[in-house]
Amino acid sequence: MDTGREDFYIQPKRDASLGALVEIDGFSKVYDGSDVKAVDGLSIRIDEGDIFGFIGRNGAGKSTTIKCLTGQLPYKDGTITVCGHDVNREPIEAKKRLGFVSDDHAVYEKMTGRQYVNFIADVFGTGDERNERIDRLKKQFSIEDAFDKYIGSYSHGMKQKICLIASLVHEPDVWVLDEPLMGLDVVMMRQVKQAMADHAAKGHAVFFSSHNLDVVERICNKAAIIDRGKFLGVIDTAKFRRSGVGTLEEYFFRLTGEGDETF
């Protein structure tokens, strides 16, 4: 594997004074009862304006990393900070800066869409500004008609939309999404990509995991690669595209030793 030698790889910076929104340094995770590291030595930095992709195959450690970042899973090795707040030591302060969309879109189905979004806005302390944001996001994700219906009656796609709206209502510094593009139709995929671009343009950051390497290559400015728990590096996607090594998908397969079959 040629990690680090290509010039599209970003060398790690460890200067916290430069104000990274997310700093993951030497993070490793071993599940109880296992000897295998689910994540090994991950170090990434997410800055303002970044749309940061996190790519790897199933079971590579992407969801584990995201769960530790968002406070769902405990960890012992390494540090994860969000806007300067250590997730282990100051979990509440760290979580206040995050907006999270899970891969299974778990949501309170006995609530209406509006009630759920307002619940999330309440716990994040969002004031009257929620009204304008909710109206804008409802329109942006085309869910105006169903917004006051019970979430239990929603389709899969509508539940995803509610989760997206709820995660953005408090304008988080870092928007974290776990496999957000899975199962989306072409219209909704465009809506999500636009929302990511809008969020980053406001000086915030987006961090998401995905199997869709084409989309990551096109919309992200940075992408971290992880394979079987091992962190392989962060690439600058603009430099990658100029490098001529091929598509990100082809490069990923070469990097991870998956062979060179072509379709």
Partner 1 sequence: MKLFNVLLKKELLTQLMRGGGKKKDALGYIVTTLISLVFLALFVYLFVAFQSKFEPLNLVDETLTLFVAAGIIAQIIFSVSKAGAVLYGGADAKVILPLPISNLTMLAAKLAALWIKEIINSAFFILPVFVAFGIMRSLGAVYYMLAAAAIIIASLFVVSVSAMISPLYVKVKNFLLKKPYIILAASLVFLAALFAVYSRFLSVVSDMLIGNRMKFIFNKNVADTLRVIAKYAFFAKQLTDFAGGSILGFIIVLFTAAAFFAGAYFISSRFYLSYLMAHAAGRTKAARERPNKERGVTATLINKELTEIFRNPSYLFSYLSVLLTLPLFCYLSVGVLNELVVNLIGGDFLIPFALLITVMFSCVCNTGAGDVISREENKIMIVKTIPVSYTRQIGVKVGIALVIAGISDLLTVFALLFSGTLGAGACAMLFLITFAATAASVMNLVSKDIKNPVVASGAENSNVSVAVVRSLIVSFAMGAVCFVLHGIDVFFTYSGSRNALLTAAYNFTQAIGGVYGVLAIILALCVIDAAVAAFRLWNRAEDKMKKLGI
**Positions in the binding site for partner 1 (CB under 8 A):** 31-32, 67, 70-74, 91-93, 95-96, 98, 100, 102, 104, 106-108, 110-112, 114-115, 118-125, 127-128, 130-131, 134, 145-150, 153
Least distance to partner 1 from the beta carbon of 235, Å? 28
- Of the two residues 145 and 260, which places its CB atom closer to partner 1 in the complex? 145
Other C-beta atoms within 10 Å of 121: how many? Answer: 19
Other C-beta atoms within 10 Å of 130: how many? Answer: 19
- Of the two residues 145 and 261, which places its CB atom closer to partner 1 in the complex? 145
- Of the two residues 125 and 257, which places its CB atom closer to partner 1 in the complex? 125
* Strand 174-178 versus strand 22-30 pairing type: unpaired
Least distance to partner 1 from the beta carbon of 16, Å? 22
* Strand 77-82 versus strand 22-30 pairing type: antiparallel
Query: Residue 33 in 3-state DSSP?
Result: coil
- Span between the terminal Cα atoms of the chain, in Å: 23
- As given in the structure block, the two tokens for residue 182 are 């899975």
Least distance to partner 1 from the beta carbon of 11, Å? 31
Least distance to partner 1 from the beta carbon of 225, Å? 25
Least distance to partner 1 from the beta carbon of 221, Å? 25
Residue 70 to residue 91: CA distance in whole angstroms: 9
- As given in the structure block, the two tokens for residue 135 are 């109206």
Residue 222 to residue 21: CA distance in whole angstroms: 14
